[in-house]
Amino acid sequence: MVSKADLIVGIQWGDEGKGKMVDLLARNYDFVVRYQGGHNAGHTIVVDGKKYALHLIPSGILYPSCKNIIGNGVVISPKALISEMAQFESMHGGLKGRLFISTKAHLILSYHELLDKLSEEKAKVAIGTTGKGIGPAYTDKISRNGIRIEELKDTQTLAQKVFDKLQALNAKENTIPTFSLDSIRNELDSYAKALLPYLANTTAMLWKAMDNNEKILCEGAQGSMLDIDFGTYPFVTSSTTTAAGACNGTGIAPRELGEVIGITKAYCTRVGNGPFPTEELGEIGETLRTKGGEFGVTTGRARRCGWLDAMAVKYACRINGVSALAMMKLDVLDGFETIQVCTGYKDKNGEILEDFPSDLSQVTPLYTSFKGWDKTAGVREFENLPKDAQDYILALEKFIGVKITMISTSPDRNDTIFRE
């Protein structure tokens, strides 16, 4: 029987702690595959007290036996990827034979970043992007005007293409810097030298791996509430962040997906602008931010913080077909006298909503209160958690309808509770 690919997906607005879970589970897989997003996302992984920040390279890179794929659904900044690769060159004999990049992945070049920043400056209501060029790169891709990484095989032709793009953009915007053809080609040559050895037909690799019963783990960036279709539009990212994106971004068919593991924090955060019903602007939000280290891996931006929105988690679990949940950062809630969870919404007319709305900007959260607890940090067995923390977990999985099978109690990979 052909093996199926498992999937880890963020259930909130991103930054749920997917990196730790992928890192923790990767030891059991032959391949880890990143399927969408760009270097605006980041995973922080702590191993034996050492911190690793990953933006494009899959988290399985920390295991020497694991092959890592950057799929066709990812948009790649060559500059960012080359910089990230450098930190792993001395690890496990380098990256050759362990890192593979889809020939179909699209490139983010410097003009995409400029367009991103211009768009934010001109917008009446800014999205709050990281300015990394992700949106404009996906815009080019969807408008059939993008640049695939395999085009680095002919830098002379590609340099002319980029030069013409810059000329056209400058004529329209009058703010895009112009570069000489030679300078563009020199830059592209440096990218080609560094990245071409890692290009591969990654879809064929994955099909062959499944035919050989090798185990595959797919990981996404951001979270389901930032999905281009099902998130808090227009305050979303530019790709499909749900489980469906794993098929688009790798070439793995829907029927070839196995377990779908959803990742949620024990509370809630988001970055950028957009609705956030459970946001706490006062002392509670600041306490969560400080204790949870809620600052962006990529940008250093402070994250907006609030109580867990279980309505959004339940919605995202259904959208993704989640078969098991992992709850991160339970220890951050240590010390609160009372813990609130959003288990319903009222609309602007005071009516209780039966279904998840398409617009969260007009809803008021309805909270269920839980008694607080202390000292979950570092706990590795469910029965050793404080009784009130156990009650919190059990009540949540009953409301959401998905079992919480993994619970993280510190950033360290080993401080994790597994439940059957």
Q: What's the pLDDT at 48? A: 66
- Please report which helix (H) or strand (E) contains residue 75, including its range: strand 75-76
104, 132, 141, 314: the catalytic one is 141
* CATH T-level assignment (fold) for domain 106-195: Adenylosuccinate Synthetase, subunit A; domain 2 (1.10.300)
pLDDT digits (tens, 9 = 90+) for 6-37: 999 999 999 898 888 888 898 899 999 999 99
Q: Would you list which residues are annotated within the binding site?
A: 14-20, 40-44, 130, 144, 222, 237, 297-303, 329-331, 408-410
CATH 1.10.300.10 region(s) of the chain? 106-195
* Local structure of 29: helix, strand or coil: coil
pLDDT digits (tens, 9 = 90+) for 142-156: 999 999 999 999 999
CATH 3.40.440.10 region(s) of the chain? 5-103+199-260
Q: What's the pLDDT at 180? A: 87
Q: pLDDT grade, residue 298 (50/70/90)?
A: low
Place of tokens 């156990």: 390
Please name the amino acid found at residue 253. A
Residue 127, pLDDT above cutoff 70: no
Lowest model confidence (mean pLDDT) among 57-71, 111-125, 293-307, 330-344: 111-125
Please name the amino acid found at residue 284. I
* Local structure of 368: helix, strand or coil: strand
15, 23, 227, 309: the catalytic one is 15
Q: What's the pLDDT at 122? A: 65
Q: What's the pLDDT at 124? A: 61
| Superfamily grouping for domain 5-103+199-260 | Adenylosuccinate Synthetase, subunit A, domain 1 (3.40.440.10)
Q: Is 141 a residue of the active site? A: yes
Give the number of residues written for the chain. 420
CATH 3.90.170.10 region(s) of the chain? 264-418
1 close to 97: Cβ distance less than 8 angstroms: no
Q: Would you list which residues are annotated within the binding site for GTP?
A: 14-20, 42-44, 303, 329-331, 408-410
26 close to 45: Cβ distance less than 8 angstroms: no
Q: What's the pLDDT at 169? A: 82
Lowest model confidence (mean pLDDT) among 2-11, 126-135, 397-406: 126-135
Q: Is 112 a residue of the active site? A: no
DSSP 275: -
Q: What's the pLDDT at 272? A: 84
Q: What's the pLDDT at 126? A: 61
Q: What's the pLDDT at 420? A: 84
Q: Would you list which residues are annotated within the binding site for IMP?
A: 15-18, 40-43, 130, 144, 222, 237, 301
Please report, for residues 59, 102, 303, 322, the alpha-carbon distance to residue 149 in angstroms, rounded to integers and kept in the order given.
Answer: 21, 8, 32, 32
Direct distance between the N- and C-terminal alpha carbons of the chain, in angstroms, rounded to an integer: 25
Q: What's the pLDDT at 325? A: 98
* Local structure of 151: helix, strand or coil: helix
Place of tokens 């699209």: 106
Q: What's the pLDDT at 197? A: 97
Please name the amino acid found at residue 153. K
Lowest model confidence (mean pLDDT) among 80-94, 142-156, 238-252, 256-270: 80-94
39, 43, 104, 215: the catalytic one is 43
pLDDT digits (tens, 9 = 90+) for 46-77: 666 667 678 999 988 888 889 999 999 999 99
Right CATH number for 264-418 from 3.90.1150.10, 3.40.50.300, 3.90.170.10, 3.40.50.970? 3.90.170.10
Q: How far apart are CA 203 and CA 182, in angstroms?
A: 34
Q: What's the pLDDT at 92? A: 62
Residue 300, pLDDT above cutoff 90: no
Query: What tokens were used for 70?
Result: 């950057």
Residue 191, pLDDT above cutoff 80: yes
Q: How far apart are CA 293 and CA 287, in angstroms?
A: 10
Q: Would you list which residues are annotated within the binding site for Mg(2+)?
A: 15, 42
Interstrand relation of 31-34 and 67-70 (parallel, antiparallel or unpaired): parallel
Q: Is 30 a residue of the active site? A: no
At residue 34, φ and ψ (nearest 5 deg) are -90, 130
